[in-house]
Structure 1
């Protein structure tokens, strides 16, 4: 429980961050996992998104709607297990604060999920295993969070030939992913020092294959050895402070040989919230050192539906994403090729269940 003075401070901060009274008047179920979602114009994805997470066992959804104008608000208003907060405040400035304040106000000590609307969480035992069983196992072993690589999903043909209807399974048309080309390394610079969990992040995959090939120098034999032996996705992240410092030192040797502008391809989307946690903008990192489970889930990422072109245009106009929508500028440069040729390559793998992710090291199952 929070004391009265702390509660009053949170109320003031909520009003400043949301500009909406209803943000301090939500009714949240007393038990079960709650999902906190930030959204703008996701009427296409929300029907199947909610279906997927309801089947996982999510008890309630709190959606911060950043003034959608595509029917998202009306759709969400009709859902009995969804609480909606509409706010005009800029996403780029408040995305981390919104999550923190909602959790401080309503979800202290609760397992909370933070998916984007284009992400589906899967984990060892899915689809039969419910999320209550997963968090119970994490609780019993005193872990506070689940690490998840982000795996981009895409159709087999050109994007211009792909058609998706709201409510259909995302996987019906976007069932392929890159099984190779990932690395597992610490963040560079001050960001890596400030955000202590996780110790390492995933990079590479489809996003790097398409948009981030250039590095400051070519790989040497030492770079290749470190990347394959130390920073492979099948290796373990160090747990001790000394191990982390050694990890950062080794990565300094190789960092100029990997793309400098690569996007982080992992998140910590499921955690048991405690006082004072703060995400690094998105849910890629947390500023506290907390115990993270040895098994991995995966966030299947469905950016490449048939609204991809309009989403890129929309993001560039709003300029609310990281680096002034920098990654969307990358998408723009490759847009014609993606629309006409697609993302599929000879090495693409079809998703047939979580075993297809475990086989290539993108999901870890320890039998917990």
Structure 2
């Protein structure tokens, strides 16, 4: 089957094989369903970063998303009725194979804002230039859940308002940085480790096979802390997995992956693990980390959870959404803040918590780029 035939089959339309894109600049590839509330600020953020074009796969939204996006010169929309559950990885891969070989591509969800060292002054094109200069092919990012000051019931977010103003708080601790369990980690070779924990486990995913002991706590605070470095050698990687086996039964299961590889220099045939959490080949990842600020907890959270449970298009038949639903009344009445919450004031707040990294090489590069 030719690439054009694969595209037509995966999207159910030939429109996906007839896009016209700018010849340079970073392109965003987005999968969306009913995101009219978030798209205005989302687009404002990524346009400010310097994203040249947006390819939006709209999975038959019925909330006005299509009308909102229609006619915007820097947006190409592909509407498809094929199931998100079966095609989410394939859609991204085929679009990039068709149009974006050797191009820098960003893969955000509409509730995610990419930030990185030097943001907001450093453009995404300049960031891509730094990555190219260093021989890097990808940027790793923890996902940091953002939430409001008080109960969700008191939030009144309107389309176009700043996400950060509505939800300026995040968990400053409670994260870990460890390999994936089992065959999934062997198949998807980049990144070597993922971030887990934070708000998601504090509130929703807490069940483990056994209580944590002193060794678990020691390894989590050292070898698998956010500040730890991934072993570079094969023996080091093997030891990494052996140490992880000692503690894995003391960790929540199932565990929600709280990291992605959302900025990637595309090479044909690359396969994502469903979402953009991992890819099936080993590529050179920058030592610097960006962050995806994740704005799930707006005042439409209840309706989004209800919608996800009805559609069953997410992982494990939207199993994680059952956990969200079980805590819904408490979140609406009490909110998500706790004593470990930190207010987002910019990249420095994330660096201080270990959620963002800036290498000495990037610091020097940014100084040179600024002429200082």
Please state which band the TM-score falls in when normalised by the shorter chain: over 0.9
Q: Give the match for residue 218 of structure 1.
A: 211
Aligned equivalent of 2:285, options 289, 292, 305: 292
Matched, 1:179 2:172: yes
Residue correspondence of structure 1 range 29-108 to structure 2 within 5 A:
29-108=22-101
Aligned equivalent of 1:20, options 10, 13, 30: 13
Aligned equivalent of 1:325, options 311, 315, 318: 318
Residue correspondence of structure 1 range 150-165 to structure 2 within 5 A:
150-165=143-158
Give deviations 1:327-368, integer Å, cap 9, x for gaps. Answer: 111100000011111101122100001000000100001141
Q: Give the match for residue 197 of structure 1.
A: 190
Q: Give the match for residue 355 of structure 2.
A: 362
Give deviations 1:92-145, integer Å, cap 9, x for gaps. Answer: 000000000000000000000000000000000000110011010000010000
Shift of the alpha carbon at 1:56?
A: 0.1
Q: Is the 8 A contact 1:216 1:256 kept in 2?
A: yes
- TM-score (norm. length: structure 1): 0.97
Q: Counterparts of 1:320 and 1:40 in 2: how far apart (Å)?
A: 11
Matched, 1:134 2:134: no
Q: Give the match for residue 229 of structure 2.
A: 236
Q: Give the match for residue 269 of structure 1.
A: 262
Residue correspondence of structure 1 range 347-358 to structure 2 within 5 A:
347-358=340-351
Q: Counterparts of 2:73 and 2:335 in 1: how far apart (Å)?
A: 38
Q: Counterparts of 1:238 and 1:112 in 2: how far apart (Å)?
A: 27
Shift of the alpha carbon at 1:9?
A: 1.2
Q: Give the match for residue 2 of structure 2.
A: 9
Q: Is the 8 A contact 2:308 2:318 kept in 1?
A: yes
Q: Counterparts of 1:225 and 1:92 in 2: how far apart (Å)?
A: 39
Shift of the alpha carbon at 1:241?
A: 2.9
- Matched residue of 2:34: which SS? coil
Q: Counterparts of 2:234 and 2:153 in 1: how far apart (Å)?
A: 49
Shift of the alpha carbon at 1:42?
A: 0.1
Q: Counterparts of 1:21 and 1:116 in 2: how far apart (Å)?
A: 24
Matched, 1:209 2:202: yes
Aligned equivalent of 1:146, options 119, 136, 139: 139
Residue correspondence of structure 1 range 250-265 to structure 2 within 5 A:
250-265=243-258
Q: Give the match for residue 116 of structure 2.
A: 123
Q: Is the 8 A contact 1:199 1:239 kept in 2?
A: no
Q: Counterparts of 2:107 and 2:10 in 1: how far apart (Å)?
A: 18
Q: Is the 8 A contact 1:48 1:167 kept in 2?
A: yes
Shift of the alpha carbon at 1:244?
A: 1.8
Q: Counterparts of 2:299 and 2:75 in 1: how far apart (Å)?
A: 26
Q: Counterparts of 2:328 and 2:281 in 1: how far apart (Å)?
A: 38
Q: RMSD of the alignment, in Å? A: 0.8
Q: Counterparts of 1:239 and 1:276 in 2: how far apart (Å)?
A: 25
Q: Counterparts of 1:219 and 1:125 in 2: how far apart (Å)?
A: 38
Gaps of 5+ in 1: 1-7
Q: Counterparts of 1:159 and 1:165 in 2: how far apart (Å)?
A: 14
Aligned equivalent of 1:168, options 157, 161, 171: 161
Q: Counterparts of 2:128 and 2:232 in 1: how far apart (Å)?
A: 21
Shift of the alpha carbon at 1:242?
A: 2.7
Once the two structures are overlaid, the 10-residue window that deviates more, 319-328 or 213-222, is 213-222
- Matched residue of 1:108: which SS? coil
Give deviations 1:186-220, integer Å, cap 9, x for gaps. Answer: 00000000000000000000000000112111111
Q: Counterparts of 2:111 and 2:53 in 1: how far apart (Å)?
A: 18
Q: Counterparts of 2:205 and 2:57 in 1: how far apart (Å)?
A: 31
Question: How many residues of Structure 1 are paired with residues of Structure 2 in the alignment?
Answer: 361
